[in-house]
Amino acid sequence: MTDKKRSKAIIVGGSIAGVSCARTLISAGWDVVVLEKSYAPPTGSPTGAGLGLDPSSQHLIHTWTNQPQLLHNSTLPLTIDQNQATDSEKKVSWTLTRDDEYNFRAAYWADLHGIVYKDLPSEIFFWGHLFLSFSISSDKKSVKVKAKNRQTEDTIEMVGDLLVAADGCLSVFRLSFLPELKLRYSGYCAWRGILDFSGNENSDTIIGIRKAYPELGKCLYFELGSGTHAVIYELPQKKLNWVWYINQPEPQLKGKSVTMKVSNDMIQKMHQEAEKTWGPALVKVIQETFKPFVNVIYDIDPLKRLVWDNVVLVGDAAHPTTPHGLRSTNMSLLDAAVLGGCLDKWGVDRLESALEEYQSIRLPVVSKQVLHSRRMGRIKQGLDLEDRQPFDPRTASSKECEELQQKNMPFFAADVPFFAG
């Protein structure tokens, strides 16, 4: 990098997208600062924060750390993608489709964040700093960012060559460039939770769930009912992650979050509905989960661009997506890898070319993945689609069931592009 001018990037957002970009931009020879409103990096394993890492993301993380065993030791294999149906009256299940070559790994969000964050210079992170505003210079060569220290209330200013917007699905940067573009409600919400069964490995609940789902620990189970579906898989440290999607009108959210506060009455009603919908083993897991919560499921119509002058969107700021293709974290990691590669290739003197190439590589991929994930969600929820009747697991043909498989996701395997051409 000695023949290239060193340049500075300001990354707003210290989530996985932000810290991944910090890592790849530093590797490309850039000076980096990261602004994050949270007071410290996440620790432990927050409830409801399970995710699946695809092979491309696993490979990237192995190349980013000098301790590749960290990922293996902190994840569990997801080698099977299985969709099955439940008859809510008879409480019996049957397999709709199965893929034994899935090759994902199950992780906690906080654990993955820790692996990517590990060994990055501590001085580049401004924890507890709330983004306030930004401005692009008249010559489009620099960007100024203002942020407030949440502890001291002091305002700071930073100037950089590039601003990386990694501020999530409610991105203020996307809103500033596209004020008319709104999040699109999917038509359903998700109850989520994690059951910690450490110390209770031989309880009736765990014996029952392992009997009903015998390949927990290596299988991603999708359970489909009539107009609803659920997901269950095992996470490290003796925990089960479950999600249950329910069709309903869009709730009114308060504050800047897609997570709803739930009351004890709401939880009790949810437990009663679970008894009507799912088999007893899954019902027990749901009922014994401490503090389940609700996510309102949104995505956004694919953007026509990801770059404005020297501001670039990455992660959920660039492509909010429904969770059915396990894309959100994987897309964020790929965004960071491609952005870092393009900046390394072109250098600061050709920043415009670097950002254009990033956009040309990632935009077609994430656009197709967002739309496919949307379609998968609507199929599994039994919602209307223009080209087919609502999916009914009781009557679906084998061809219709094939659409449920994760491997149908565009750019699912090794064909995901990292470079132009």
pLDDT tens track for 31-84: 999 999 999 988 765 555 789 999 999 999 999 987 878 899 999 999 999 999
The reply to whether 421 falls in a domain is no
Q: How far apart are CA 411 and CA 409, in angstroms?
A: 6
Containing structural domain, residue 15: 8-46+111-181+301-384
The reply to whether 12 falls in a domain is yes
Nearest 5°: CA angle at 94, between 93 and 99?
125
pLDDT score for 270: 97
Residues (pLDDT < 50) of the chain are 1-3, 421
Q: In 140-154, which positions are buried (b, 16+ CB within 10 angstroms) versus exposed (e)?
A: eebbebebbeeeeee
Same domain? 195 vs 169 = no
* 8 Å CB contact between 142 and 161: yes
pLDDT score for 349: 87
Nearest 5°: CA angle at 286, between 282 and 290?
150
pLDDT score for 2: 45
pLDDT score for 48: 55
Same domain? 198 vs 335 = no
Same domain? 274 vs 192 = yes
Q: How far apart are CA 165 and CA 264, in angstroms?
A: 37
Same domain? 293 vs 313 = no
The reply to whether 396 falls in a domain is no
Same domain? 270 vs 193 = yes
pLDDT score for 43: 78
pLDDT score for 177: 97
Same domain? 83 vs 119 = no
Q: How many domains does the chain have?
A: 2
Same domain? 93 vs 138 = no
Q: How far apart are CA 296 and CA 253, in angstroms?
A: 9
Domain end point (choices 267, 299, 331): 299
pLDDT score for 1: 42
* 8 Å CB contact between 233 and 220: yes
Q: How far is CA 356 from the centre of its chain?
A: 24
